[in-house]
Chains A and B, each alone.
Chain A
Amino acid sequence: MNFYPEFEVVRNDSRCIRCRVCERQCANEVHWYDEDGKVMLSDESKCVNCQRCVTLCPTRALKIVKSDCRLRENANYSDQTIKEIYRQAETGGVLLSSMGNPNPLPVYWDRILINASQVTNPPIDPLREPMETRVFLGKKPDHITRNADGSLDTKLAPQLSLSMPVMFSAMSYGSISYNAHASLARAASALGIYYNTGEGGLHEDFYKYGKNTIVQVASGRFGVHKDYLEAGAAIEIKMGQGAKPGIGGHLPGTKAVGDVSKTRMIPEGSDAISPAPHHDIYSIEDLRQLVFSLKEATDYRLPVIVKVAAVHNIAAIASGIARSGADIIAIDGFRGGTGAAPTRIRDNVGIPIELALAAVDKRLRDEGIRNNVSIICGGSVRSAADVVKAIALGADACYIATAACLAMGCHLCRSCHTGKCNWGIATQRPDLVKRLNPDIGSQRLINLMDAWRHEIKELMGGMGINSIEALRGNRLMLRGVGLTEKELEILGISHAGE
């Protein structure tokens, strides 16, 4: 069935100089030049509104607007719902989507406000006073021990040291490009934080960034071998992902080419579809075995992270993980991004990270095991304010991926699964990949983190807090607005005015 396209290309012909940059830049082949009429024409049905042509048009002759040609309005059957039905009726297929859930579900970050000091204690000025953002992730001992001479025995379970409580979350080499990985790895090294390989293995060029790398072991075990495990600073077992809880990763065959297939250790062009479960983990006691297998394989040098999607029973699940020998739990909320996920799952499965985080932190404290593990919060952390709110709710650190992609140039057109990313991020086409310059990409990531660190310090200083440790779990620094009693109870915060 043919529809009027979702977007319209609006070209101001009096401004267009026929330079054809739009044509060259569009991997979706929307634009072309008509020699006879000496005009630029477009096939808008191919447009994904990635804004590449708009950004690069030297005369600002282009804009992409939402088409106003719609089906008859219906509050129950939206335009999108109807069109999805038509598409499925045509193909019999599962709908695929990319990036995080775009639907207007509650964003609790935006319903939480942060405190500041007035009169009874002083705000602290980060320009004039030291302000600390360093965090250690890993298991903390319940009791100190002393050496024979009475000095403290300072041996600890392995810890990750972060200069600020933000890391780049898992995005596999394959789902994103070589240059995107290079940008993340270099930025993490320069910043003193970590990036995460995702489940596609680690390109041999990036082993040198191992000190700032978290290597992931997912259900497909793609790219996992002894050198890989030993290359990183921590190992993450991916049990689930916020964008698609309950299913495994999905790399379309079009992206499994060249070094990607080599790194993943799979044939070129084959779809890399990870199993939904780890086939050696059907219960919590199995998880414990995998945790210790990985520790054994790496001489107990590296902390093990267990990443789970935020689902209904997350508090109990986290409690189980905290007792499994894992050093760190990463919780991924339902708004988290992905390079490819079934639309229905992305849009309907999982729970918001804010509620999951609050519930997990509380449960672990109630059980007195919060010290067993650190908590990483991911799944749509969009700004320094979100980071501060997450830490105050109880996270030790945050994972960001969508924000990192945006820093590298992503325009959130949500078409990663097509492999035709015009910004050189979610693609393996060499002509597109080279559009992302790792020098610039890494610098922009560093800039973003620098900016966030400044903002985190300003917000902390305003609260009279000069170290991030004193913010963690400090829920008194948060107030809700427009939330129900139940929501406030789960978040463990008071309403504004209370």
Chain B
Amino acid sequence: MIPLEGHVRIPSGCAVSAMISRDGKRMNGESIIQSMIPMHDRSNGLGGGFAAYGIYPEYKDFYALHIFFNNRSAQAECMALLKEYFEIVQDEHIKVRKMPQITDEPIIRRVFVSPMQSVLRHLQIDEKELVVRVVNRINAEPVGSYVFSCGKNMGAFKAVGFPEDVGRYYRLEEYEAYCWTAHGRYPTNTPGWWGGAHPFCLLDYSIVHNGEISSYDANRRFIEMYGYKCTLQTDTEVITYIADYLLRRQGLSLDEMASVIAAPFWSTIEGKSEADKEKYTYLRTVFPSLLVTGPFSIILGFDGGLMALNDRLKLRSMVVGEQNDMVYIASEEAAIRVMAPDIQNIWSPAGGEPVIVRVKEGAF
């Protein structure tokens, strides 16, 4: 029997792509879908997905839960659980375009929720923590429900299939976002499961990732000390939790987080100024178990921006392009040329050097 997702660790190669408007201009999903086509061979049809930011302006104060249900009873059970903690503002189908390339569809719903104040007061936690706890609980229990996106004014769309087909399936040309990220997956030992496709999301963080990290179990065993549960056993999942832990719970900046997960080499630190030396040494001393080794290129999307990062040896390709207010990032230059055919300014960021792009204050 072929093992199921989450029962074994699944390494996978991949393609990533992203586009963001620094002016907060909203663009439909056509371009990002197109960008995945020249990178078709980097995926094997076992997973594709997209994350989009700024797509629900009319519901921007509510958490948008995108959920897969295996069947009606799982849906009923999950909704009952949600109602214990949240007001349900809206509960609807995510519209799809049926197509022969996409099969074995689960029930796909979008639920806008608002945390109940009484629950927050009782548990004495903030609303983000509540969302994380409830989502982790639903996803950790094998009842056939899987929340694959739970941020505000953003959403992930993913399925088993090639990414360009997945984009068409979810009718992404009908959504308008100021930032899109995309992922095509090449897993090596799974039959492919919808929840296992990427992006992987937690709150407004979404991660698309290309590579196989060699530090996986060191990272996993550390992060699981802090209440996270790595049920999928994928790199992307653990990187998302690391991002959440460092950014939200420890309050590190994006730059500081980059110097934890793709820490500068000691030999590089030696050559820095005294203040930087102290800072980098501190971060490596305090968070040694969150250093991520092995090849990776990741794009971390968040509310109002994104960050792209390579492993410190740059064992995976990743290029960045810039044109006017737009920034494009992809595994291959060809993908950027599809999104912006006459782009001039294209470069490869060095290993471990974060590329942080933020939308202008107030523009989204």
Contacts and interface: CB of A to CB of B under 8 A. Distances in A.
A binds B: yes
Interface of A: 117, 120-122, 124, 129-130, 132, 134-136, 140-141, 143-144, 146, 151-152, 154, 156, 159, 365, 368, 370-371, 463-467, 469-477
Nearest to B278: A154
Interface size class of B (residues with CB under 8 A): 35 or more
Given A117-B214, A134-B266, A465-B294, 14 more contacts: A121-B11, A121-B212, A122-B295, A129-B313, A130-B265, A140-B285, A144-B252, A144-B286, A156-B285, A159-B285, A365-B221, A473-B217, A474-B218, A477-B217
Contacts of B281: 154
Interface of B: 9, 11-13, 188, 211-219, 221-222, 224-226, 250-252, 256, 263, 265-267, 275, 278-279, 281-289, 291-295, 312-313, 315
9 contacts: A136-B285, A140-B286, A365-B221, A365-B222, A371-B225, A469-B218, A470-B294, A472-B218, A476-B217
B211 A121 contact: yes
Given A152-B282, A365-B224, A469 B289 contact: yes
Contacts of A159: 285
A463 B215 CA distance: 9
A121 B211 CA distance: 7
Contacts of A134: 266
B288 A136 contact: yes
Given A140-B285, A368-B225, A477-B217, A464 B279 contact: no
Contacts, number: 114
Contact of A474 (B216, B251, B313): B216
The 7 A-B residue pairs whose C-beta atoms are closest, nearest first, are A470-B215, A476-B217, A464-B214, A469-B288, A121-B212, A474-B218, A154-B282
A465 B279 contact: no
A475 B217 contact: yes
Given A120-B188, A121-B212, A144-B250, A472 B289 contact: yes
A467 B218 CA distance: 12
Contacts of B9: 476
A497 to B, nearest CB: 13
A370 B211 CA distance: 28
B1 to A, nearest CB: 14
Nearest to A155: B282
B279 A152 contact: yes
A404 to B, nearest CB: 25
Contact of B288 (A117, A124, A143, A472): A472
B188 A132 contact: no
Given A120-B212, A144-B251, A144-B252, A151 B279 contact: yes
Contacts of A146: 251
Contact of B215 (A143, A154, A465): A465
Contacts of A473: 217-218, 221-222, 289
B292 A470 contact: yes
A151 B283 CA distance: 12
A467 B13 CA distance: 22
Nearest to B296: A121
A215 to B, nearest CB: 23
Contacts of B295: 121-122, 464
Contact of B266 (A132, A141, A476): A132
Contacts of B278: 154
Nearest to B246: A144
A328 to B, nearest CB: 14
B221 A475 contact: yes
Contacts of A117: 214, 294
Contacts of A475: 217, 221
A470 B279 contact: no
A340 B149 CA distance: 63
B291 A467 contact: yes
Contacts of A136: 284-285, 288
A474 B214 CA distance: 9
A475 B222 CA distance: 12
Contacts of B252: 144
A96 to B, nearest CB: 42
Nearest to B215: A470
A122 B315 contact: yes
Nearest to B250: A144
B13, B250, B294 — most chain A CB neighbours (10 Å): B294
Given A121-B11, A121-B295, A467-B291, A476 B216 contact: yes
B294 A464 contact: yes
Contact of A469 (B221, B251, B275, B291): B291
Contact of B282 (A124, A143, A156, A463): A156
A434 to B, nearest CB: 40
A156 B285 CA distance: 9
A371 B225 CA distance: 10
Contacts of B221: 365, 473-475
Contacts of A471: 215, 218
Contacts of A143: 250
A467 B279 CA distance: 19
A388 B344 CA distance: 48
B263 to A, nearest CB: 8
B12 to A, nearest CB: 8
B132 to A, nearest CB: 17
Contact of B256 (A120, A152, A368, A464): A152
Nearest to A123: B214
A121 B256 CA distance: 26
Contacts of A368: 225-226
B3 to A, nearest CB: 10
Contacts of A463: 214
Contacts of A477: 214, 217
A473 B313 CA distance: 22
Contacts of B285: 136, 140, 156, 159
A496 to B, nearest CB: 15
A335 B215 CA distance: 30
Nearest to B187: A120
Contacts of A124: 313
Contacts of A472: 218, 288-289
Which of the listed residues B13, B211, B289 has the most CB atoms from chain A within 10 Å of its own CB? B289
A365 B266 contact: no
A470 B215 CA distance: 5
Nearest to B188: A120
A182 to B, nearest CB: 30
B293 A365 contact: no
